[in-house]
């Protein structure tokens, strides 16, 4: 018995609220309630519903709603231009916006690895609150779990979002026809390169910054300008190339873009050249691809350029009748060449 008593199988409960998250913060007791009341809820003040119930009660939406969910596991947690907090709000809000919805409510689910510093959590919560205010959404429900060291990479966040579908609805990529115009809302590849540079500690000056931002105002600007939008998509993982391939799969056109027209910042271009990556394959977090009916490309870019998040919008190509390749890009010598779909995370080349 003595041996059993001295065994370390029953760890002492932490009773103090130190400067890091412990498993006890996730056990539903006093520490957890304090974490909620003293840190999470105050940080979200003004962007959340005033209750701690297990379920949010919301008014029924008149019309149709859009519902989306996404999990955020970015490493490192913060990077030039944003952090996991801005990402988890804008990512979900943007999914709703490009579906043609006005984002209303989001849920916030935190999965925290024990040992996460409380200042880190505070800083992420501040980012979430600021992003929610910017995107005009309310955090209506949430959850917090703490997992043992090694079971998560510091902090994972899941957010789900509900938005009100606006009229007229966005037709969708199946409706793409020849000569529709293709646009991007800004310089591409910034998020992926910012995260890669931060993760690998590439000491590059100037360092690329993430484009992490809300696209709600940009989509709203297109709607206000009465641009007939056929398809919208935020170009996250897989970049612009992945969006174009996905659209090509769902329509009978070839999507043809011009390399010379695609906006790329010099820092992103520099890092991509160094690592042997194509910016078209690199992730964005606040940049979308849009397809609009023929003749409306200029009106669309004019409208987008009035919004800060899409001030550098550009027409990058158009749809044509389907040829052998679903997506082609015109390179420097004037030839249209097939644009490959990324097959996985881009791996930097050796030389």
Partner 1 sequence: MKFLDEFRDPTAARRLLAEIRRAATRPWTLMEVCGGQTHSLLRHGIDAELEGIVELIHGPGCPVCVTPLEAIDFACELCLRGDTMLVSFGDMLRVPGSRGSLLDARAAGGNVRTVYSPLDAVELAHRHPELQVVFFAVGFETTTPTTALAVHLAAARELENFSLLVAHVRVMPAMEAIAASADCRVQAFLAAGHVCTVTGCAEYAPFVARFQIPVVVTGFEPVDLLQGILECVRQLESGRLRVANCYRRTAHDSGNPTAQRLVSDVFEICDRPWRGFGVIPRGGVKLRAEFKRFDAEPRFAGTRLPVLDPTECKSADVLAGRIKPTACASFGTTCTPDSPLGAPMVSSEGACAAYFRYAGSSHTPTHATRP
- Give the binding site for partner 1 (CB under 8 A): 181-182, 200, 202, 254, 256-258, 266, 269-270, 273, 275-276, 317-318, 320-321, 323-325, 328, 330-338, 340, 343-344, 347-351
CB of 153 to partner 1, least distance (A): 15
- In the block, which residue shows the tokens 């980012």? 127
Output the DSSP codes for 234-256. E--TTHHHHHHHHHHHTSSEEEE
Considering beta carbons, is residue 123 or 336 the nearer one to partner 1?
A: 336
Side-chain-facing half-sphere of 271: CA atoms under 13 Å: 29
DSSP states along 122-175:
HHHHHHHHHHHHHHT-EEEEEEEEEE-TTSSSSEEEEEEEEEEEPSSPP--GGG
* E strand spans, the chain: 65-72, 78-79, 82-83, 101-113, 138-147, 155-165, 181-184, 229-234, 253-258, 288-292, 314-321, 327-330, 336-338
CB of 313 to partner 1, least distance (A): 16
Judged by beta carbon, residue 61 or residue 202, the one nearer partner 1 is: 202
Minimum Å gap between C-beta 333 and partner 1 is: 5
Least CB distance to partner 1 at residue 289 (A): 14
| Nearest by Cα to 293 from 167, 178, 186 | 178
**Minimum distance from residue 120 beta carbon to partner 1 (Å):** 21
Q: Among residues 21 and 327, whose Cβ is nearest to partner 1?
A: 327
Nearer of residues 166 and 277 to partner 1, judged by Cβ: 277
Shortest separation between residue 130's beta carbon and partner 1, angstroms: 33
Nearer residue to partner 1 within complex by CB, 181 or 211: 181
Q: Which residue has the tokens 């964005």?
A: 284
How many Å separate Cα 175 from the centre of its chain?
25
Give the residue with the Cβ less far from partner 1, 47 or 254.
Answer: 254
């Amino acid at each position: 018995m003595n041996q059993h008593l001295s065994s370390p199988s029953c760890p002492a409960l932490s009773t103090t609220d130190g400067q890091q998250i412990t498993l006890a913060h996730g056990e539903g007791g006093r520490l957890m309630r304090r974490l909620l009341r003293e840190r999470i809820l105050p940080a979200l003040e003004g962007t959340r519903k005033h209750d701690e119930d297990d379920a949010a009660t919301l008014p029924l939406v008149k019309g149709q709603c859009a519902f989306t969910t996404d999990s955020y596991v970015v490493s490192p947690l913060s990077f030039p231009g944003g952090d996991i907090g801005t990402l988890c709000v804008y990512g979900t809000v943007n999914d709703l916006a490009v579906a043609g919805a006005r984002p209303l409510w989001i849920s916030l689910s935190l999965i925290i690895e024990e040992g996460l510093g409380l200042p880190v959590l505070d800083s992420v919560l501040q980012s979430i609150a600021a992003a929610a205010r910017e995107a005009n959404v309310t955090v209506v429900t949430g959850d917090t779990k703490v997992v043992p060291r090694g079971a998560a990479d510091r902090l994972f966040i899941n957010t789900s979002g509900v938005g009100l579908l606006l009229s007229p609805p966005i037709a969708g990529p199946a409706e793409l026809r020849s000569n529709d115009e293709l646009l991007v809302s800004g310089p591409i590849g910034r998020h992926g390169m910012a995260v890669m540079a931060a993760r690998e500690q590439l000491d590059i000056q100037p360092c690329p910054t993430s484009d992490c931002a809300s696209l709600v105002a940009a989509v709203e600007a297109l709607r206000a300008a009465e641009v007939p939008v056929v398809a919208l998509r935020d170009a996250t993982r897989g970049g612009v190339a992945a969006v174009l391939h996905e659209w090509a799969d769902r329509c009978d056109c070839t999507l043809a873009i011009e390399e010379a027209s695609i906006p790329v910042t010099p820092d992103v271009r520099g890092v991509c050249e160094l690592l042997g990556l194509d910016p078209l394959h690199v992730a964005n977090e606040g940049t979308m691809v849009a397809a609009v009916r023929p003749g409306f490309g200029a009106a669309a870019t004019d409208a987008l350029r009035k919004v800060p998040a899409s001030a550098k919008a550009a027409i990058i190509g158009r749809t044509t009748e389907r040829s052998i390749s679903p997506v082609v890009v015109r390179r420097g010598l004037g030839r249209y060449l097939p644009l490959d779909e990324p097959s996985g995370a881009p791996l930097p080349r050796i030389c």
